[in-house]
Structures are given as structure tokens and as C-alpha cells.
Amino acid sequence: MSETALPKDEAQPALDAQVAPVTAPRRGNGLAIVALLLGAAGVAAGGWGIWQVRSLQASNQQQLSQVQTLDDQSQSFKQSQQQLAARLAQLPSADELEERRRLVAQLQGDQQRLSQRLETVLGASRKDWRLAEAEHLIRLASLRLSALQDINSAQSLVQGADEILREQSDPGSFAAREQLAKSLAALRSTEQPDRTGLYLQLAALRDQIVQLAAVAPEYQLTEPASQGRPTTDTENRLSQWWEQISRYFRIDFNPDDNIRPLLAGQGLNQVRLALSLALEQAQWAALNGEAAVYSRSLGEARSVLQDNFNQDNPQSKAMLARIAELEPKAVSVVTPDLAASLAAVQAYLERRHLSADEAKASAGTPTTQE
């Protein structure tokens, strides 16, 4: 039994020797892996260190730039401080500032009092100007009435003067406004003549003068005398001769008492010119308010029409009717007198000036006594 066992014990080391080479390489691979891991960790640690170094360098550079910026700002602050110190050195002292403040306050008070006095003076001046304007408006209205007989313009001017007096709100202007109201009532009751319309209507009549014919029209036979029967050469010559000679005269078996010659050629043109001049003179009289000249001119025009033109002619008949309509038209009116209104306004202005002078005198008396 022991002999058989000995070989087994001897054989066991041999087996171990055979197994040992198999397990040895496995341990070498583990060590290599560990070494690789350690190398990778070292490389990672080195990279992390380099990254940390670079980040520290970047932060150092940023800090340096910030330090430079702060240094520049401190330099600018120092310069500003120096400038402020120089300006403060130039400023006056506290006592001098207090004196200047007192002088400024005194100047402001004097300026305020002066502006109040100026407003008072200007207010009185404006009222005086407005009242002087009212007086001027009344003078202008009186001039318009006397020179042009312009009722509408005079009424507007007097109304403007009354508005100025109303703006004053002065009880002393009652008498002046009362007189202005009377003048306005007189102006409103006076009718304004239409001179421009009369002038244009007469101009239209002058344009129709060229169309007027002579007293009697040319005589023409309504039917030929030889109608219905044969005619000979002698009768034809006699009819032609009679047709020619009938143009120069006519026989009227029922004549009027007033027989006038026919107008033709130069005589007709002269009559038309005389009629045109009469109407033109009436136009001038209408514009200038000359009632006598206006009536006389239209009477002359009517006489020319009646003496030289046929009254049965529609054109001359219509012109005669139109002249008869225009002849009674008024070209001149009796204008109201504004002298009383002007005197009332002037009296009000004098009373106002006297009151102002008395107020100034009473205000100046205490000052002289002091």
C-alpha cells in the first residue's frame, strides 16, 4: 500500500508542474491591465493639471486687465477730483454767496414791482388806444357818409365804435353809447342805393344801342302788282323802276301829326352816339350820387329815343320802358349826421383823461409829504 502511494505522491508534483505554466500568464495580463489603468489615470491627471494651469493663467490675465482698468478709472477719478478742487477754489466764500443771494432777491423784487407798474401803464395805454380807435372809427364813418354816401360801411364803423365802448365796462360811457345807438338807428332806417346795379343796368342798355333801327323800316310790297296777269317789257321796266325808287320814299295815307325824316348812314350813327353819351353820363351820375345829373341824362336819352326812333319798334319800345323804370331810382340819399355821436365820444374821452390825471395827482401827494 505504501509503495503504491509513493508513486501518487511523486506524480502530484508533476501535475502541479504542468498546471503552473498555465496559470502564470493570467497573472501577467492582470498586471498589464492594472499598469494600463494606472497610466491612463496618470495621463488624465496630467491633462487635468494642464487644464487647471491654463485656466489659472486665463484668470490671471483677466485679473490683470481688471486691475489695469481700475487703475485707469482711479487716474480719471483723480483728475476729476483735481478739477473739482480747482473749481471749488474758484468759488466765492459763504459770506460772498450770501451777499449775492440777497442782491438777487432784491433784484427779483424790484423787477416784479416794475413789471406790475408796466402792466398797469400798458393796461391804461391799451384802453386809451382802444378809445382813440373808437373816435377814429366815428370820424371815418362820417367821412364815408359825406364823401360816398356809403350807409353800410358807416353802419359797420359806428357798430365797431360801440363795441369798443362796451368793452370798457365804464358807466361813464352811457351818454356816448346812447348817442351811438341813435346814430345806428338812423343809419338802419336809411336805404342804401344800389349804385353798382344801376351802373351795370345802364351799361347793358348801352350795349343794345347798336341794335336800334331807324324811325321807319324799309317799305316792301307783300305781293307783286303784276301777279295773275301777263306783263309786258314796259310794265317790267316800270315795276323795277318803282321798286328802286320806293326805297327812298314812301306814301302814307294815314300819317301822324309828327312827321320825321328817315335816318340812315352817318345821321343814324350820330343819334346812336348821342344816346350812348347820355347813358354814359347817367352811369357816372349813378356812381357819384348826382341825382340831378342822373335824371337829366336819362331824360335826354328818352328824348333821343322818342325823336329819332320808331316807338312801335320792339327794341326802342323796350329801351324806353327800361329807361322809364330806371329814371325814378334813387342814386343819392340824405345821410344822417354823426357830429353828435363824435362830440359825445370826445366828451367821454376828456372826462376819462381828467379822472386819470386827478387819480395820479392824489396818488403822488402822500409821496411828496413823506
In angstroms, the Cα distances linking 289 to 141, 152, 180, 327 are 17, 15, 26, 14
Q: Which three cell numbers stand for residue 49?
A: 493639471
Q: 10 Å Cβ neighbour count for 238?
A: 14
CB 154 within 8 A of CB 141: yes
CA dist., res. 75 & res. 71, Å (int)? 6
pLDDT tens for each residue of 174-227: 999 999 999 999 999 988 888 889 999 999 999 988 877 654 444 444 444 444
Q: How many CA atoms lie within 13 A of 106 on its CB side?
A: 6
| Closest by CA position to 201, among listed 292, 317, 323, 293 | 323
Q: How many whole angstroms from its chain centre is CA 165?
A: 29
In degrees and rounded to multiples of 5, residue 81 shows phi and psi of -65, -40
- pTM greater than 0.85: no
Q: Widest CA span of the chain, in angstroms?
A: 212
308, with CB counted inside 10 A (0-12, 13-18, 19+), is buried
Assess whether pLDDT exceeds 80 at residue 294. yes
The better pLDDT of the pair 10, 31 is held by 31
Helix and strand numbers, DSSP H then E, in the chain = 10, 0
Please give the average per-residue pLDDT across 291-315, as a whole number. Answer: 87
| Closest by CA position to 307, among listed 207, 211, 214 | 214
Please state at what angle helix 339-369 crosses helix 151-168, rounded to 10 degrees: 20
pLDDT tens for each residue of 330-369: 888 888 999 999 999 999 988 888 876 676 666 555 444 4
CB 159 within 8 A of CB 188: no
CB 279 within 8 A of CB 299: no
CB 177 within 8 A of CB 317: no
> Percent of the chain having pLDDT more than 70?
75
pLDDT at 253: 57
In angstroms, the Cα distances linking 61 to 19, 73, 75, 276, 353 are 65, 18, 21, 114, 92
CB 302 within 8 A of CB 275: no
CB 287 within 8 A of CB 195: yes
Rama region for 35: left / alpha / beta (φ>0; ψ in -120 to 50; rest): alpha
CB 280 within 8 A of CB 184: no
| Closest by CA position to 214, among listed 311, 321, 318, 322 | 311
3-state secondary structure at position 216 = coil
pLDDT at 160: 93
Instruction: Find all residues with CB under 8 Å of 306, minimum gap 6, and list them.
Output: 320
